[in-house]
Structure 1
């Protein structure tokens, strides 16, 4: 099994480019689960995409217009959303903020 260290410290966890205006930090993971923090600048776009992972996300700050399948909704701090595997989804950041994403299984493309 591949897994992360037991602890991840914010100022010791590297940021990765996640597209224009977005960065991510990969936190704890093993073969079945991954936690990721994503920081967005206002106006940044999470392009429409699909992946084979289940995704549950928490809006830690900011505001985002989300499209999941054929549904569109604006979510803000304290809200959350779920994306089933293989469902087309994306977001536009309306107010600079942060998403906390959990994926199952882990995102190999983030390692």
Structure 2
């Protein structure tokens, strides 16, 4: 994590490193402060965002690709241009159906990512 990502007014995506988080899944922290965090997550087809829950509120935008998203007991396929909301402490996960990128927003920021 570079200090320019904390409270960054502008972020140069090309200079940020990817972090491998699972087979077929990598992420980069775009910018954050104590209250808000933006994370880009790239998936290969078949990549899995392991089901989990956390106390953060999350909203995600599908920048590209197609994903089967589970939120609680509901499963939907989302595609480029779609978005979804995950309330705090709700079980959720993702399976990539077509390689793509999700942009995740968390409040408060994910301390466990830094």
Say if 2:37 is the partner of 1:34. Answer: yes
Q: 1:4–1:27: 8 Å Cα contact kept in structure 2?
A: no
Q: Secondary structure at the match of 1:17?
A: strand
Corresponding position of 1:53: 56
Corresponding position of 1:16: 19
| Superposed CA RMSD | 0.8
Corresponding position of 1:7: 10
**Deviation, structure 1 residue 5:** 2.9
> What are structure 2's unaligned runs of at least 5 residues?
1-5
Corresponding position of 1:93: 96
Q: How many Å separate the matches in 2 of 1:13 and 1:78?
A: 24
Say if 2:74 is the partner of 1:66. Answer: no
| TM-score normalised according to structure 1 size | 0.95
4+ residue segments displaced more than 4 Å: none
Q: Secondary structure at the match of 1:18?
A: strand
Q: How many Å separate the matches in 1 of 2:11 and 2:77?
A: 30
**Deviation, structure 1 residue 14:** 1.2
> What are structure 1's unaligned runs of at least 5 residues?
none
